[in-house]
Amino acid sequence: MKCNEYKEAIASDPGGLFEDAEHASNCASCAAFTEEMRGLNRRIASALNIPVPKLSMPDLPEAWDENPDEQWSGSVDRSNIQMDTNTVVDLSLRRRKTNRRPGIPVWLGMAAGIVLAAVVGFKLLVQETAYPSLGAEIMAHLDHEPGALTASGAVSEQRLANALKAGVAAMDTKGGVITYARTCVIHGHTVPHLVLQGALGPITLLLLPDEKIAKAVLLEGVGTEGVILPVGDGSIAIIGNRGEPLDNLKSQLIDSVKWSI
């Protein structure tokens, strides 16, 4: 799960359970965001927990008293009118008494809801980071998903197929054991994010059908290195541990990857 998806999920439901909720255990940024959102949720809940006084209706006056002439105006003929003093009330008085603005507790709850929506919206906006280049965004993305590099066995064919649906029509997947297959957002596009096991450790593949480049771009990180290769109208990022032999994998991917139309 990419960080943006996780943060959107936790912001919409800080106390809920959802797929890959354990993502925060491997990402310090998402763990801090989770705690902040849940703390805000607790404060909002506390603010809304306001005692509301019991609703009581005021006593209504009798509609007919000892001076009936004061109850009527105009030229209405009252000679044939039968009045039930137990059921008839002065509606104008009831309207004046009930047409009031919401009490303070109602307005306070509305204000708290508006504040919560504004804070969550602001949090989601500030999470969008501008990167100087495609390579810089790719390396930062890998730093935010260290759990993807932990080998836990080969992924199922169905999970791999689901990940490749995001822009890949064909690919030779026999170059190594694939231990991670999800989709992530790079440059605003949902792309397949795969990890396979190489000679010196995990190798990350980001398949970028919407990122057309003119020539290969070298990538370097702390203890890692790789390249973004032009492939048709898109490109492929390959990153492994420093010294990992990648030439065979590069040739295999360039020859086998076909983008969806």
Distance CA 61, CA 141 (A): 72
Strand blocks (E) in 29-186: 168-170, 178-186
* Neighbouring residues of 40: CB distance < 8 A, sequence distance ≥ 6: 14, 116, 119
Domain count across the chain:
2
Q: Considering only CA atoms, give the Rg of the chain.
A: 33
Give 168-224 pLDDT, tens digit per residue.
999 998 878 999 999 999 988 999 999 999 999 999 999 999 999 999 999 998 899
Distance CA 47, CA 44 (A): 5
Assessment of whether the complete model's pTM goes beyond 0.85 = no
Could you say which of 128, 148, 178 is where a domain stops? 128
Give 74-107 pLDDT, tens digit per residue.
555 555 555 555 555 454 545 454 455 555 555 5
pLDDT at 181: 93
Domain match, 123 and 183 both? no
Domain match, 93 and 8 both? yes
Q: Is 151's pLDDT higher than 60?
A: yes
Q: Which of 124, 101, 121, 104 is nearest to 47 (CA)?
A: 104
CATH number for 210:
3.40.1000
Q: Give, in order, the Cα–Cα distances in Å from 82 to each of 88, 90, 91, 128.
A: 11, 16, 18, 73
Distance CA 85, CA 65 (A): 9
Q: Give, in order, the Cα–Cα distances in Å from 8 to each of 17, 24, 123, 147, 227.
A: 13, 13, 9, 19, 30
pLDDT at 143: 87
* Neighbouring residues of 33: CB distance < 8 A, sequence distance ≥ 6: 7, 10, 11, 24, 123, 127
Domain that residue 20 falls in: 1-128
Domain match, 58 and 152 both? no
Two structure tokens written together for 257: 């990857």
Range among 40-49, 71-80, 155-164 with highest mean pLDDT value? 155-164
Q: Is 239's pLDDT higher than 90?
A: yes
The DSSP secondary-structure symbol of 68 reads: G
Q: Is 125's pLDDT higher than 70?
A: no
Domain match, 141 and 111 both? no
In whole numbers, what is the pLDDT of the chain averaged over residues? 76
Could you say which of 105, 128, 151 is where a domain stops? 128
Q: Is 20's pLDDT higher than 90?
A: no
Is 51 or 255 the better-scoring residue by pLDDT?
A: 255
Q: Is 126's pLDDT higher than 70?
A: no
The DSSP secondary-structure symbol of 39 reads: H
As a whole number, mean pLDDT of residues 230-246 equals 95
Q: Is 34's pLDDT higher than 60?
A: yes
Domain match, 187 and 230 both? yes
Q: Give, in order, the Cα–Cα distances in Å from 163 to each of 129, 183, 236.
A: 24, 6, 15
Domain match, 105 and 160 both? no
Domain match, 213 and 233 both? yes
pLDDT at 225: 95
Two structure tokens written together for 140: 């930062």
Domain match, 109 and 155 both? no
Is 148 or 261 the better-scoring residue by pLDDT?
A: 148
pLDDT at 216: 95
